[in-house]
Amino acid sequence: MNVHEQYPSLDSRLVQYGVGRDAATGAISFPIYPSATYRHPEVGESTGFDYTRSGNPTRQVLEEALADLEGGARGLVFASGMAALTTLFLHFSSGDHLVVSQDLYGGTYRVLDQVFGKLGVTASYVDTTDAAAVATSIRPATRALLVETPGNPLLGVADLRALGDLCRRHELLFIVDNTFLTPVLQRPMEFGADVVVYSATKYFGGHNDLCAGALVARSAELGERLYFLQNSTGAILPPQDCWLLLRSLKTLALRLERHGRNALEVARWLQHHPRVSAVYYPGLPEHPGHDLARNQAHGFGGMLSFRVDSPTMARQVLKRLNLISFAESLGGVESLMTLPAVQTHADIPEAERLRLGICESLLRLSVGIENAQDIIADLAQALAG
């Protein structure tokens, strides 16, 4: 009986992944297997492990956990979120066209524009909160739709059900980057996603001490194709990091509950600050995607962005922070703030950034699990003066 059959509750499954899988010792924490290679019993026989790029016991337990967690057929883990995306993009060929969220991580734009663009894979960047705009962007050469929802950094909310239906009608691969919410809060495969993408560095890892990425494929056939690419190109997650990520999953549900509660409290406070002109957080009823997010997700997550009245003020805030760290990345237990226009989204052309509203007055805040009032007090003193 597998973990899913034993524990239908996702919270319990997260805690139980790996428990009892090491039959030799009964270890509660599944061991790290650092071996690079494995002995064969006989010629033509294998223990199931041959060379650690192709498979590793610690990685296997983690990948199976992610597949179960997502409701997919196969999970694969990589050395970073960008390694996962790069491997996925290798699934496409020269001449293929992708429709991609315009509100997305700048690194995704960079690898598509500057790496895969040279290889003949093209992309159109579209407001995926508008399903009609997505439909009009589809060409005969379009092979996939990649959507981040909520978006990064403006937290736009895309209608996953409508986009899933659109992909089925046009026979497109439906790819969802679910990094901001994880399957604890949002389950893209329930809306037809074929592949779910994660920067596992973020909420999966959750402690700003790990760099990892993940893909989960809906079908075994697609999972096998992505495994072929993973094994062929080799951007795997090492065993030590697999163990660390597996350990971190055990507290994922608890952490997300606190992240979301804190983020809502901080967002409400920011709404009333005189130096803040806009707050972007789907948990606020005023957010244009609030009702949709409430219907397709089980929470709003810990990410928000806000706009101050000038670039000078934005820099003042970053310089004065104490509890909150001025740092890239997100999803860790510690609160982090960044200036997307000059950091995470700097590779997007300036004219496009400005069109999207990613100006130097926009700050992105990954709300941690500290006491919410302490986070607010730090924001208050940083915005003062």
Domain spans in the chain, listed from the N-terminal domain onward = 3-249, 253-383
Mean pLDDT for 284-291 is 98
Q: Please, are residues 116 and 146 in contact by the beta-carbon 8 Å criterion?
A: no
Over residues 145-198, the pLDDT tens digits come to 999 999 999 999 999 999 999 999 999 999 999 999 999 999 999 999 999 999
Does the annotation count 96 as an active-site position? no
Does the annotation count 105 as an active-site position? yes
74-78 and 213-217: which strand pairing? antiparallel
Does the annotation count 169 as an active-site position? no
For domain 253-383, the CATH architecture is Alpha-Beta Complex (3.90)
Q: What is the pLDDT of residue 245?
A: 98
- 36 exposure class (CB count in 10 Å sphere: 0-12, 13-18, 19+): exposed
Q: In this model, does residue 233 exceed pLDDT 90?
A: yes
Q: What is the pLDDT of residue 5?
A: 66
pTM of the predicted model as reported, rounded to 2 decimal places:
0.96
- Topology annotation, domain 3-249: Aspartate Aminotransferase; domain 2 (3.40.640)
Mean pLDDT for 267-282 is 98
Query: Which of 33, 59, 103, 105 is an active site residue?
Result: 105
Over residues 117-135, the pLDDT tens digits come to 999 999 999 999 999 999 9
Does the annotation count 53 as an active-site position? yes
Over residues 327-368, the pLDDT tens digits come to 999 999 999 999 998 877 877 777 877 788 889 999 999 999
Query: Which of 103, 177, 241, 378 is an active site residue?
Result: 177
Q: What is the pLDDT of residue 142?
A: 98
| Phi, psi dihedrals of residue 51, rounded to the nearest 5° | -150, 135
Q: Please, are residues 316 and 385 in contact by the beta-carbon 8 Å criterion?
A: yes
122-126 and 142-148: which strand pairing? unpaired
